Amino acid sequence: MAETIYTLCILTSLACAWLLFASYRRTRYRLLFWSGACFAVMTVNNLFLLLDKIVFPTVDFLPARLVSALVAISMLLYGLIYEKE
């Protein structure tokens, strides 16, 4: 059951990133780019979670998960603070 939930989280993050990047290509609104980049890195974060909990339970992926979460949130925060209009 956990594998299904983790996989659905990966697919949801990937779909959000894809939709945000598609909208950015149409409108060129920079906040959409930073949001899409955030969700793309969140997809990687969810992949690390799947690898950590299901595929390789003996290997510790916690540092990679924390770094990818920090990068994702930092990208979104940068877009929210520094992008004008």
State the Cα–Cα distance between residues 85 and 30, nearest whole angstrom: 8
Mean confidence (pLDDT) of the chain: 95
How many separate domains does the chain show? 1
The domain in which residue 58 lies consists of 2-82
What pLDDT score was predicted for residue 85? Answer: 62
pTM of the model as a whole:
0.92
Across residues 33-49, what is the average pLDDT? Answer: 97
46 backbone dihedrals φ, ψ, rounded to 5°: -65, -30
